[in-house]
Amino acid sequence: MNVVISYLLLLCNIILLVFGQILFKLGLQNSGGLHWEKLIASVHIWCGLGLYGLATLLWFAVLSRLPLSIAYPLQSLAYILALVPAYFLFHETISMTKIAGVAVILLGAYLIVK
């Protein structure tokens, strides 16, 4: 049961990181790029930073429960999860090359856990 909780904490960490990146992207889009005065006032940027802070606290819990050699490579699953909002929110294309990359990441994650 402890192992299941450890992996659930890791999954929550990954989800928070992805949502943080989504908020960063939205904040940058709304500010028109790297306009620091607008970014500092951006709710999206501040919320993204907050999510990153929570993700860091979860990461501490993960590292106390799982070996770094397993936990850190599994964070690569964030790349896969980020494709969904990239496609639906930001209208980015998902090419066959990206799909192949997803397969490689999944295979790598599987091999690391085994």
Range of the domain at 72: 2-113
Please give the chain's pLDDT, 114 residues, in tens.
899 999 999 999 999 999 999 999 999 998 887 788 888 889 999 999 999 999 999 999 999 999 999 999 999 999 999 999 999 999 999 999 999 999 999 999 999 988
CB 9 within 8 Å of CB 65: yes
Query: What is the C-alpha to C-alpha distance for residues 36 and 22, in angstroms, rounded to an integer?
Result: 18
Domain count, the chain: 1
